[in-house]
C-alpha cells in the first residue's frame, strides 16, 4: 500500500503513468480537496463541481504521461481543472455568460473599505456573482489570465472580458460596503 507522505510526488506520477490504481488514489486524495475548491469557485453548484472534478481527474490520468516534470505538477492539474470547468460552462447553455448593465455603472471605490471582512466573506460574495462575471473574475483576479487569454477561452471579445471584470468588481465593492455598513451598525448597537 502506498503512503502518500513517504512516496515522492514524482514517483506517484510515474506510478500513475503505469496505471497503478493505488498511486492514482493517492494522487487524487492529495489534490482533490484543493481542486474541488477551484471547480466550485467556477460552478457554484456542489454536484456540478464534483462532476467536473471527476471528469478532470479522468483526463489527468489519461494524459498524465504528457506531464514532462518541467514545472509544477499542481499547476498542470490546476490548469486542467480550470479548463474542464470552462468546458462545462460552455456546454451548458443555461449557464450563459450574461452581461448585466444595471448592476455596475461606476468605477469601484475601495477607499471606503476597512479590513474587517474575512477571505471567506469575499469568496462567498464572488460565488454570488452572476456566472459570467464570476468566471471572468476568477480567471483574471485569481488564476492570473490576461483579458486576451480569457477572451480566447470563453469565445468573447477582450472588451467584453474587461467590462465583465469591471462590473464584477463594482458589484463586489457594493457588497463589501453594504456588509461593512451592516457590521458597523451592529457594533454601534452593542
Q: Does 153 fall in a domain?
A: yes
Write out the residue range of the structural domain in which residue 123 sits.
Answer: 110-189
Confidence (pLDDT) at 187: 60
123 and 48 in a common domain: no
168 and 119 in a common domain: yes
Confidence (pLDDT) at 59: 96
In total, how many domains does the chain have? 2
Beta-carbon contacts of residue 90 (< 8 Å; ≥ 6 apart) = 154, 155
Q: Is 145 left (phi over 0), alpha (psi -120 to 50) or beta?
A: beta
φ and ψ at residue 58, rounded to 5 degrees: -60, -45
Q: Does 102 fall in a domain?
A: no
71: nearest Cα among 32, 27, 13: 13
Cα R_g (the chain), whole angstroms:
20
Nine cell digits for residue 190: 452593542
- Tell me the average confidence (pLDDT) per consecutive run of 10 residues in the chain, 190 residues long: 60 95 95 95 91 96 93 94 92 58 44 54 85 92 92 91 93 84 67
Rounded-to-integer distance, Cα 187 and Cα 32, Å: 39
Confidence (pLDDT) at 122: 77
Confidence (pLDDT) at 4: 44
130 and 162 in a common domain: yes
What DSSP letter does each residue of 130-147 carry, written as one string?
-HHHHHHHIIIIIS---H
Kindly provide the b/e burial profile for residues 31-41, where b requires at least 16 CB atoms within 10 angstroms of the residue's own CB. Answer: bbeebbebbbb
| Residue at which a domain ends, from 93, 122, 140 | 93
Q: Does 174 fall in a domain?
A: yes
Nine cell digits for residue 59: 483526463
141 and 77 in a common domain: no
117 and 183 in a common domain: yes
Residues comprising the chain, all counted: 190
116 and 68 in a common domain: no
Residue 34: give its domain's CATH number. Answer: 1.10.1740.10
Amino acid at each position: 500500500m502506498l503512503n502518500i507522505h513517504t512516496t515522492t510526488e514524482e514517483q506517484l506520477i510515474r506510478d500513475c503513468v503505469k496505471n497503478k490504481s493505488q498511486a492514482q488514489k493517492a494522487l487524487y486524495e492529495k489534490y482533490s480537496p484543493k481542486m474541488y475548491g477551484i471547480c466550485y469557485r467556477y460552478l457554484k453548484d456542489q454536484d456540478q463541481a464534483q462532476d467536473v472534478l471527476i471528469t478532470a481527474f479522468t483526463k489527468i490520468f489519461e494524459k498524465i504521461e504528457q506531464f514532462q516534470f518541467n514545472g509544477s505538477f499542481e499547476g498542470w492539474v490546476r490548469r486542467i481543472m480550470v479548463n474542464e470547468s470552462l468546458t462545462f460552462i460552455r456546454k451548458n447553455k443555461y449557464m450563459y455568460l450574461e452581461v448585466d448593465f444595471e448592476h455596475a455603472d461606476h468605477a469601484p471605490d475601495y477607499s471606503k473599505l476597512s479590513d474587517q471582512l474575512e477571505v471567506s466573506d469575499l469568496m462567498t460574495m464572488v460565488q454570488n456573482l452572476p456566472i459570467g462575471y464570476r468566471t471572468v473574475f476568477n480567471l483574471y483576479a485569481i488564476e492570473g489570465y490576461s483579458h486576451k487569454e480569457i477572451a480566447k477561452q470563453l469565445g468573447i471579445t477582450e472588451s467584453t472580458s474587461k467590462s465583465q471584470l469591471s462590473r464584477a468588481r463594482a458589484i463586489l465593492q457594493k457588497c463589501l460596503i453594504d456588509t461593512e455598513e451592516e457590521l458597523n451598525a451592529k457594533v454601534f448597537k452593542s
